[in-house]
Amino acid sequence: VKAVVLDPRNDFNVDQILMEKDVQNLIQLCVTRLLDTTNPSLSTIKMQVYFDMNYASRAELLREQHHVLEGRLARVLREITDSRPRVQEDMENVYRKVVSYVLLSSGLGPPTDIQVVREVTAALQSVFPQTEMNTFISLSKKNKEQQLKNLAMLVTGIRLYNKECGKGGTSIDDLPAILNEAIPSATQTLDEGLNTCQVRAHQYTALLESMQEDQDRCTQLSSFKLKEALFNVRQYEAFLCILLSDVITSAQEVEKMNVQFAATMEQLKNTVQNKVSVDTNEVFPLFIALSDLWTGFQDETLLLRFLTNMTNNLQQFSEIQSQLFPEDVLSSLLEGMTVKSDEERIRETKGTKMNVSDFKNQEWLFPETIDNFDQLPIQYHSFCAHAIGVKGLTLPGNPAIGILKHKERCYVFSSEEAAYLFAQDPDKFIQLNVEKAKEYAELIQLLELRYQFEDLVSCTQAGNGVKFLIKTTIKCDGSTQTDTHILPPTIVTSYEWNEWELRRKAIKLANLRRRLTHAMQTELSHMRRENSTQVYLPKDVGTQTKRDSATNIPRPQIFLEGLRGGASPTTHMVKVDLTRAVDET
């Protein structure tokens, strides 16, 4: 519905009320588009929906898998931690449940195989004999869960070690060998799919360019849905690149784990050798390390299976464009034409560079002048920002020509001419690209243009029930919270900055080494305790203070007259003392 409403050719206005006739027209257009099984555009949208609903990153997929495993083990775990056995028979039942938990948690072999159960039981008894069940039952629930996890890892490590020594390991698959065979196969499949869709994209691009250059050619090919087919293979290529990147990451992780697993196993062999008994502090960490590495192999197997299924399921969405353009049809259409690959187009513009002085108000970036070039937010999936809206083509952009930074977004171009035209009025060409995405809705995700389009919602007008489409108001309530202390406290309470205090403590500790504590008990003091206390008797003390007295002296009042002089040259000063006597105060 959104794709039909956004298409300007259908003349729907989101700000106007849709009458009954318009609603029926909208329904008819949607149904017609859904039933058009020969349109690559619909297949591209289906591909995008499938990928969005099913693809998950490595971290998300592993987190979900571990959550599912915990859900499967929750019932057995709850039965073990909540049990309070009193008799020997109940103890044995709980111990059998512990064996089941360890077996299910490791995932090494089917739980119904009696040989596997016996092997797990023997390995568990070597580290957790049944005589320790009383101690286990007395633990808290949290400690029980932690000990069960540790036991599962220890048993897994023991079984892997026994398998390496040829003394057990029944029904344990050789995951490293399986992964070493499956990863190259998956990589080859993805490489072949990428090569096929890239060749198709280059051929469709060549045909579309010939249509723009030759009017007769345009009339001949106008009935073909070349643009829809081009967008389909470009989207298929983008998804295959994501899956291939995940497979490469998985291959790197497997290679790293193979080295660590071999080194840990060799260290364990050197530690155990033919000894009758070994220190648990030495071998238990090695068993747990083996278990962790094996869990990593299991995770990579799950990831590879998921990526393989995604690859196989995506292929169906690219079949329509290949059926519309069989190899013989494409060969006849491309006869006498030169098909350029993306690499060849970039090589043609090698050495071309924008003259920054021509656009003083624009900011241009170049790969050699900035750090973290790969992390730049380049728009339109690194396709030429000019060719999309003007020509309707997805041409690869060459960052060496120059990266235009406009309104905090970066744009690349396929040629110097395209860069000059775009830089003269970027907003105009950005709007052209938006209009092109409205015409071909699959471009919204392919070119990562979701921020340009607001969601449309269907509302019912109160009273008459007439439906119309409006733009949703993008508002939400948000709140943030900042932790007072993000990092754990690192204050060392025993720290002393005073050297003399350290010296005092050292002397105290040295003296304590030479002290002995003696105690004895007699029949009279048996089961008794002597209490003694010491107090200070109160003491009455009195003191007498001196007598308070005060004096008051008169304030001096002395006046001098004649200091400023007068008519005679000689100054005659008169001193008048008006201070009162002491006895008058």
- State pLDDT tens for residues 99-132: 999 998 888 888 888 888 888 899 899 888 888 8
| Region 397-414 average pLDDT | 91
Cα angle 464-465-468, degrees, rounded to a multiple of 5: 115
For tokens 């729907």, name the residue: 12
pLDDT at 244: 95
Confidence band of 195 (pLDDT split at 50, 70, 90): very high
Contacts of 447 (CB under 8 A, 6+ apart): 379, 380, 381, 383, 388, 433, 437
pLDDT confidence tier of residue 552, bands split at 50, 70 and 90 = confident
Q: Is 405 helix (H, G, I), strand (E, B) or coil?
A: strand
pTM of the model: 0.73
Given a cut of 70, whether residue 12 has pLDDT beyond it is yes
Instruction: Find the mean pLDDT for residues 490-519.
Output: 85
- 557-565: average pLDDT: 80
Backbone angles phi, psi at 388, to 5 degrees: -65, -55
Q: How many Cα atoms occupy the beta-carbon half-sphere of 101 within 13 Å? A: 29
Strand 558-561 versus strand 467-471 pairing type: unpaired
Nearest residue to 414 via CA among 237, 238, 209, 218: 209
Separation between Cα atoms, residue 25 and residue 3, nearest integer Å:
14
pLDDT class of 471 with cuts at 50, 70, 90: very low
- Say if CB 28 and CB 458 are below 8 A apart: no
Domain range summary for the chain, segments of one domain joined by +: 83-165, 175-334, 342-457
Contact 163, 119 (CB under 8 A): no
33, burial (CB in 10 Å: exposed 0-12, middle 13-18, buried 19+): middle
Using the predicted structure, report yes or no on whether residue 203 has a pLDDT greater than 70. yes
Q: For residues 357, 360, 363 and 367, what is the CA-based torsion angle, rounded to 10 degrees?
A: 10
Question: In this structure, what DSSP letter does residue 378 have?
Answer: B
Q: Judging by DSSP bridges, how do beta strands 403-406 and 467-471 pair with one another?
A: unpaired
Q: How far, in Å, CA of 415 to CA of 425, rounded?
A: 16
The length of the chain, given as a count of residues = 585
Q: What is the mean pLDDT of residues 528-538?
A: 73
| The pair of three-digit structure tokens given for residue 571, joined into one six-digit string | 């100054």
Strand partners, 541: none
Whether 330 has a pLDDT exceeding 80, the answer reads yes
**Beta carbons of 288 and 150 less than 8 angstroms apart:** yes
- pLDDT per residue over 352-373, tens digit each? 888 888 888 888 888 887 777 7
Name the token pair of 203: 């051929």
CA distances from 42 to 34, 48, 264, 321, 476 (A): 7, 10, 53, 11, 33
**What six digits make up the tokens of 516?**
């002995």
Which CATH entry fits the domain spanning 175-334: 3.30.450, 3.40.50, 1.10.10, 1.20.1460?
1.20.1460
What percent of the chain stands above pLDDT 90?
A: 34
HSE value, Cβ hemisphere, 13 Å, CA-based, for 364 = 21
Closest CA to 322 of 193, 233, 198: 233
The tens digit of pLDDT for each residue in 250-308 reads 999 999 999 999 999 999 888 887 776 777 888 889 999 999 999 999 999 999 999 99
On whether the CB atoms of residues 229 and 276 are closer than 8 A, the answer is no
Q: Give helix then strand counts, H and E, for the chain.
A: 20, 7
Residues 293 and 255 sit within 8 Å (Cβ to Cβ): no
- Write down the residue that tokens 């859900």 correspond to: 71
Q: CA triplet 243, 260, 309: central angle to 5 degrees? A: 20
